[in-house]
Every structure is written in structure tokens, then in C-alpha cells.
């Protein structure tokens, strides 16, 4: 009988942790919640579909009309210390031109604190002209540019055809080291892309860039896309231990010290 009670207690504990880890998700912008899965095929960050199956079964596809689609996968790249990355594929179908003013943009509210202006725990990645990455950190009222650690953001983009569209279009692949940018197991973001030629600025969600409280939610589960409810339960439960471990062991995000802000030298607390 004691074993039954013990087992029941464990299940209850797991279920309550499950709610902490994956269930109770803040949804700043209604309708903009998506789910991250593990990859079927580990992506190669070369800015294109490296093979026809590279992204075919990788993650949930989110489309912005016919202009853009993106998907993402999360990967544990190290267990000691636990290190988690998130890798995106973004295809901007309606941008077929190489302009110096084109940009990709990812705004990150890693602790889901929301707000009406970027906080110091928020980051913004701009990739401008398909060549130059800039990293910004929130100030409480706006953004200040900081020096990125190249190891934290791996990216590549090309003007290529793909299995999803035979007309050459801009494709971005980007891996972020989540903890280095303050992102927990679930995190909020806004993804945008701009084409200078057409003047199209598309974004998910289509809300103000500088209003974290209106960005979307990136939930996650362990495993590839579940095929049945029962499988879903299994992968959700298995994600609990990872979620708890990751939450407690994740590195602190970068912060720029007040003294370094004056000198322009960036120091990080990790
Ligand atoms: Ca690739
Ligand atoms: Ca363009």
C-alpha cells in the first residue's frame, strides 16, 4: 500500500511540475503560442536546405501568409553544464532581392516578463543586409547596442530555392544559445523580416517591436512531433526533469555593468 501511495505521490508531483515546466504558459499576444520540438534531422547552419529532408519533419511550421514561414527545434548540446540551443529556419518567400537595408530580426523576452518597453533581460538580434549581426539589450525604455559573443549566435543566410519554393528566396538558419540570451525553457519572442525592394515588413506576432508584452510564446516538449495523445503524455512527462534541471542550472543572462557602459567595454556575468 505504501508503494501505491508513494507512486501516486510521485505522479502528482510530476504533474504539478509539468504545469510549471510546460503547462502554464503566459500568452502575451492571444493566439501567438507555438511549440518547439527536438529535430528529426540535426540542421546544418548553412542558410539553406542542406538536404531535402533537413527541415521536412523538423518542428512546427508557422506561416505569415504567403510571405514567410519559419520553424524551430531545440537541442540539448551539453548535459554538464546543461546547455540548450534553439535553431530556426526562416524562409522569406517574397524577398528575392539582395538589398543592404534588408533585415532579419529576433526579439527575445527570455523570462517572459512582458512589459510595454524592452527590459534589461530582453535582447534583440538584427541581421542587416544579410551580412551584419547586431545585438541589442533592453534598457527599460528602449535598446542599447552591445557586443555579441559570436559563440552565442550562429547564423547563415542565402538566396536559394528550397523544397518549399522553387524560386530563389532568402533563407535564414540561426542557432541561439538560449541561456546566454536569457531564455528559459519557455520564452517569448517576436520574429520579423524586412525586404527593402518591396517595402514588406512581416512579423510574428504582427505587434509592436518594442512591446514585449505583445510578443508570442515559444512553448516546448521533448521529442519530435507527437503522433498520438499517449505519446504526447510520455514526452511531456519526460520533459519535466529537463525543464526543472534547465531552470535551475541555466546560466544568468549577460548584463552590461554601469561602469563598462561608460567605457564601452562589455563585461558579462555568467
Ligand atoms: Ca541547412
Ligand atoms: Ca530584399
pLDDT at residue 269 is higher than 50: no
Alpha carbon of 253 to those of 46, 110, 207, 208, 230: distances in Å?
Answer: 27, 9, 25, 24, 36
pLDDT of 173: 98
3 state DSSP class of 213: helix
CA nearest to 88, candidates 210, 181, 198, 197: 181
Please report, for the chain, the start and end positions of each structural domain, with discontinuous segments joined by +: 34-253
| pTM, rounded to two decimals | 0.78
Bigger pLDDT: 183 or 254?
183
Ligand 2 centroid from CA 39, angstroms: 29
Confidence of residue 37 (pLDDT cuts 50, 70, 90): very high
Handedness of CA 254, 185, 48, 42 (dihedral sign): positive
Q: Which ligand approaches the C-alpha of residue 201 most closely?
A: 2
Residues near ligand 1 ion, CB 5 Å cutoff: 44, 46, 50
Give the rounded distance of the alpha carbon of 4 from its chain centre: 40
Confidence of residue 21 (pLDDT cuts 50, 70, 90): very low
Ligand 1 centroid from CA 134, angstroms: 22
Q: State the Cα torsion 242-56-123-140 to the nearest 10°.
A: -90
CA distance linking residue 119 with residue 58, whole number of Å: 32
pLDDT at residue 23 is higher than 70: no
Long-range contacts of 253-261 (CB under 8 A, 24+ apart): 253/110, 253/121, 253/123, 253/179, 253/180, 253/181, 253/182, 254/137, 254/146, 254/149, 254/180, 254/181, 254/182, 255/120, 256/137, 256/144, 256/146, 261/144
Ligand 2 centroid from CA 157, angstroms: 12
Ligand 2 centroid from CA 90, angstroms: 14
Q: Which ligand approaches the C-alpha of residue 43 most closely?
A: 1
pLDDT tens column, 207-237: 999 999 999 999 999 988 654 333 344 345 4
Ligand 2 centroid from CA 226, angstroms: 36
Q: Look up residue 198 and give its three cell numbers.
A: 518591396
pLDDT at residue 84 is higher than 90: yes
pLDDT of 28: 85
DSSP 8-state assignment for residue 218: E
The domain made up of 34-253 has a fold known as Immunoglobulin-like (2.60.40)
Amino acid at each position: 500500500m505504501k508503494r501505491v501511495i508513494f507512486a501516486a505521490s510521485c505522479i502528482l508531483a510530476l504533474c504539478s511540475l509539468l504545469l510549471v515546466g510546460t503547462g502554464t504558459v503566459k500568452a502575451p499576444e492571444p493566439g501567438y503560442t507555438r511549440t518547439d520540438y527536438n529535430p528529426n534531422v540535426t540542421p546544418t547552419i548553412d542558410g539553406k536546405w542542406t538536404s531535402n529532408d533537413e527541415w521536412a519533419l523538423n518542428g512546427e511550421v508557422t506561416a505569415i501568409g504567403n510571405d514567410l514561414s519559419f520553424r524551430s527545434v531545440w537541442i540539448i548540446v551539453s548535459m554538464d553544464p546543461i546547455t540548450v540551443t534553439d535553431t530556426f529556419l526562416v524562409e522569406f518567400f517574397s524577398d528575392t532581392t539582395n538589398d543592404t537595408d534588408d533585415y532579419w530580426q529576433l526579439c527575445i523576452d527570455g523570462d517572459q516578463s512582458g512589459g510595454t518597453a524592452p527590459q534589461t533581460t530582453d535582447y534583440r538580434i538584427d541581421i542587416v543586409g544579410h551580412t551584419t549581426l547586431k545585438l541589442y539589450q533592453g534598457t527599460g525604455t528602449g535598446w542599447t547596442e552591445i557586443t555579441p559573443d559570436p559563440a552565442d549566435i550562429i547564423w547563415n543566410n542565402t538566396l536559394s530555392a528550397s523544397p518549399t519554393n522553387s524560386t530563389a528566396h532568402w533563407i535564414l538558419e540561426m542557432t541561439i544559445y538560449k541561456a546566454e540570451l536569457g531564455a528559459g525553457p519557455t520564452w517569448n519572442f517576436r520574429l520579423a523580416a524586412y525586404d527593402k525592394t518591396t517595402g514588406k515588413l512581416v512579423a510574428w506576432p504582427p505587434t509592436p517591436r518594442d512591446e514585449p508584452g505583445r510578443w508570442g510564446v515559444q512553448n516546448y516538449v521533448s521529442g519530435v512531433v507527437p503522433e498520438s495523445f499517449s505519446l504526447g503524455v510520455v514526452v511531456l512527462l519526460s520533459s519535466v526533469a529537463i525543464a526543472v534541471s534547465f531552470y535551475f542550472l541555466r546560466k544568468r543572462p549577460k548584463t552590461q555593468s554601469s561602469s563598462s557602459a561608460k567605457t564601452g567595454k562589455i563585461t558579462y556575468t555568467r
